[in-house]
Amino acid sequence: MTSLPEKTERALGLVIDLDTCVGCHACVVACKGWNTEQYGAPLSDMDAYGAAPEGSFLNRIHTFEVTPDAGPVAVVHFPKSCLHCTDAPCVTVCPTGASYKRVEDGIVLVNESDCIGCGLCAWACPYGAREMDAAEGVMKKCTLCVDRIYNDNLPEEDRVPACVRTCPAGARHFGDLADPESAVSQLVAARDGMDLMPEQGTAPVNKYLPPRPKADQAPDGEIDVLAPLLEPVAEPGGFLGWLDRALGRL
């Protein structure tokens, strides 16, 4: 079995804003593209256009309808990938040492040459963040794009995970969550960032920012969707007004 480091020098991870995510799946596509061509490649698909397609995705979006105690039903898009847990059960259960947590940055990785595809890490992960690559016969997972974030050949703005770089809504943030002065740590503190399933005791590094209450909701929680259509429309002025009146006489 693999042992976890007592302490890591940094705790690199993601902060995901559930209030901002629009569920566009751009992060899913970017993750799939980068990890199919770069580190840990290929991220294969089996029978992709057939009757029973099967593929490996390291980042997925789940969409839920949430019914609050007051107010209208809300839709929440929930991105999910490896959380790079401090107490990662996927690491300690691995019989070959293929799964490990790096001391220098806290990233959880898989050494695919040592992985036997037993699937124990997938059983141990409470978040369903492990993926069996059917073509390769090994387990794969989010790497936080470790080959991007340390690549000096890339512009500085590109040295972030592909999912963060591509998010059009700015819902994904990357940084060192062990540093209380980092932008991600301050964001978590300001927005009451939370762990996913804290009862599991895995101490995930990744954090989620909860959706904020909508200031424009009606006090009684009801919204009249027809109200804008029933408001009186002002008469057009200028040339359009003259043209409207002229056509009205015909």
State the Cα–Cα distance between residues 92 and 99, nearest whole angstrom: 8
pLDDT value of position 46: 82
pLDDT value of position 221: 55
Residue type, 74: A
User: What confidence tens digit (pLDDT) does each residue in 197-234 have?
Assistant: 999 999 999 999 998 876 655 555 565 666 666 666 66
Its domain, for residue 85, covers 12-209
CATH number at residue 196: 3.30.70.20
State the Cα–Cα distance between residues 82 and 141, nearest whole angstrom: 7
- On whether residue 242 sits in a domain, the answer given is no
- 210 neighbors 192 (Cβ within 8 angstroms): yes
- On whether residue 19 sits in a domain, the answer given is yes
pLDDT value of position 215: 60
pTM for this prediction = 0.81
The number of folded domains in the chain is: 1
User: What confidence tens digit (pLDDT) does each residue in 143-190 have?
Assistant: 999 999 999 999 999 999 999 999 999 999 999 999 999 999 999 999
Per-residue CA distances from 139 to 8, 30, 62, 197 (Å): 24, 20, 22, 23
What single DSSP character describes residue 194? B
Query: Across residues 92-111, what is the average pLDDT?
Result: 96
Residue type, 24: C
- 87 neighbors 201 (Cβ within 8 angstroms): yes
- On whether residue 215 sits in a domain, the answer given is no
- On whether residue 80 sits in a domain, the answer given is yes
pLDDT value of position 10: 97
Percentage above 70 pLDDT, the chain: 88
- On whether residue 145 sits in a domain, the answer given is yes
- On whether residue 197 sits in a domain, the answer given is yes
pLDDT value of position 67: 81
- On whether residue 199 sits in a domain, the answer given is yes
Q: What is the mean pLDDT of the chain?
A: 89
Question: In degrees rounded to 5, what are phi and psi of residue 30?
Answer: -65, -40
> How many Å separate Cα 227 from the centre of its chain?
36
> How many Å separate Cα 158 from the centre of its chain?
17
Query: Across residues 23-30, what is the average pLDDT?
Result: 96
